[in-house]
């Protein structure tokens, strides 16, 4: 019998890798724990009976779009809404072999700090069910603390990952805005919401964040605008080549070239240092001299990502 209450994410991964249990057996063990204990806690709004990955399961807050799985953002307004696409973070955890265990409770449209304001009823703190688990992502935090999930994904605008994790006695990691794509996440505030990880100890969220990827494709234009403006103060100068792309070189690109550039941006992402980014930015836009004169390496790196994202028919993917 698998004791999910004391099983950390790393321990669960080790069990699967050593073939002591299969992914399907582990998934079933967590479903059994949910069936036994979630009636009192109400962490989950729905569960997935069959695993679709080769590794451990993960719980997703109900604001994260999941293909074929109802996503309501804790509201009856979206009752019956089943996305036809995966959010970027959901796609990435699936690509890493994790299977979706289920969708967890949240304050309606993530507007709350106690998970008492869900249209589907409140969640409870596993340490004391008479108390709240925090919010808006109280369902995810409570599920991890109660051993109903090894880890989970949440969203954070003003504390919706960190605060419920603190109240439930685990660790919530809110990444820097822009480092993890928010594409497909129902946003309370598009300019500040992001996806992050909840785990039972310091190492667990870090491992989970690795599966999400950083500085990749969708949602990174805002990173360039935010970080460059705050840290360097000369965003306009650094992104001047992007404006040139809009007026000149970009208009001559065919659709195949645009898609090729987007793919290059997705692949290289955070792997380039500043000098390499400056070189690729100049090469891509045909503006080597201008980039060399006006963009410092850190800003060139941000401008590269913004520019290549912007060539895809003008869509920011935010």
Catalytic residues: 61, 136, 160
- Residue 31 and residue 72: Cα distance in Å, rounded? 21
Mutual angle of helices 297-310 and 240-247, in 10-degree steps: 30
N-terminal to C-terminal alpha carbon distance within the chain: 44
H runs (alpha helix) in 213-317: 221-231, 235-238, 240-247, 255-268, 274-285, 288-294, 297-310
**CA separation, residue 114 to residues 109, 172, 239 (Å):** 13, 16, 41
Q: What pairs with residue 185 in β-bridges?
A: 64
Instruction: Please state, in angstroms and rounded to a whole number, the distance separating the CA atoms of residues 268 and 266.
Output: 6
Cβ atoms of 178 and 77 closer than 8 Å: no
The closest of 60, 55, 232 to 143, measured between CA atoms, is 60
Instruction: Tell the residue number behind the tokens 């959010």, with chain if given.
Output: 87
Residue 222 and residue 207 in contact, taking contact as beta carbons nearer than 8 Å:
no
Q: In whole angstroms, give the CA distance from residue 26 to residue 1.
A: 10
Block residue for tokens 């890493």: 96
Output phi, psi for 77, to 5 deg.
-60, -35
Query: What's the distance, CA 116 to chain centroid?
Result: 24
Tell which phi-psi region holds residue 204, choosing left (phi > 0), alpha (psi between -120 and 50) or beta. alpha
CB 116 within 8 A of CB 85: no
């Amino acid at each position: 019998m698998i004791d999910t209450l004391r099983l950390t994410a790393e321990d669960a991964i080790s069990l699967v890798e050593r073939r002591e249990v299969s992914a399907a057996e582990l998934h079933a063990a967590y479903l059994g724990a949910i069936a036994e204990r979630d009636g009192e806690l109400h962490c989950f709004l729905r569960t997935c009976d069959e695993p679709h990955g080769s590794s451990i399961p993960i719980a997703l807050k109900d604001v994260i779009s999941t293909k074929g799985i109802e996503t309501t953002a804790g509201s009856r307004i979206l009752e019956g809404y089943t996305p036809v696409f995966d959010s970027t973070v959901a796609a990435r955890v699936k690509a890493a072999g994790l299977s979706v265990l289920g969708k967890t409770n949240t304050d309606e449209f993530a507007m709350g700090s106690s998970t008492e304001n869900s249209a589907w009823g409140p969640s409870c703190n596993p340490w004391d069910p008479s108390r709240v688990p925090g919010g808006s992502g109280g369902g995810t935090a409570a599920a991890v603390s109660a051993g109903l999930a090894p880890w989970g994904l949440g969203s954070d605008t003003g504390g919706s990952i960190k605060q419920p994790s603190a109240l439930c006695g685990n660790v919530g990691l809110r990444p820097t805005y822009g480092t993890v794509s928010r594409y497909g996440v129902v946003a309370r505030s598009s300019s500040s919401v992001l996806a992050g990880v909840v785990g039972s100890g310091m190492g667990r969220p870090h491992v989970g964040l690795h599966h999400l990827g950083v500085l990749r494709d969708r949602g990174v234009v805002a990173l360039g605008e935010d970080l460059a403006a705050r840290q360097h103060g000369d965003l306009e100068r650094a992104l001047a080549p992007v404006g040139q792309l809009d007026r000149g070189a970009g208009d001559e690109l065919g659709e195949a070239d645009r898609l090729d550039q987007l793919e290059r941006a997705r692949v290289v992402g955070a792997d380039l240092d500043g000098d390499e980014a400056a070189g690729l930015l100049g090469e891509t836009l045909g503006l080597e001299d201008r980039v060399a004169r006006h963009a410092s390496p850190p800003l060139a790196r941000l401008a590269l990502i913004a520019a290549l994202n912007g060539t895809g028919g003008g869509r920011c993917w935010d």
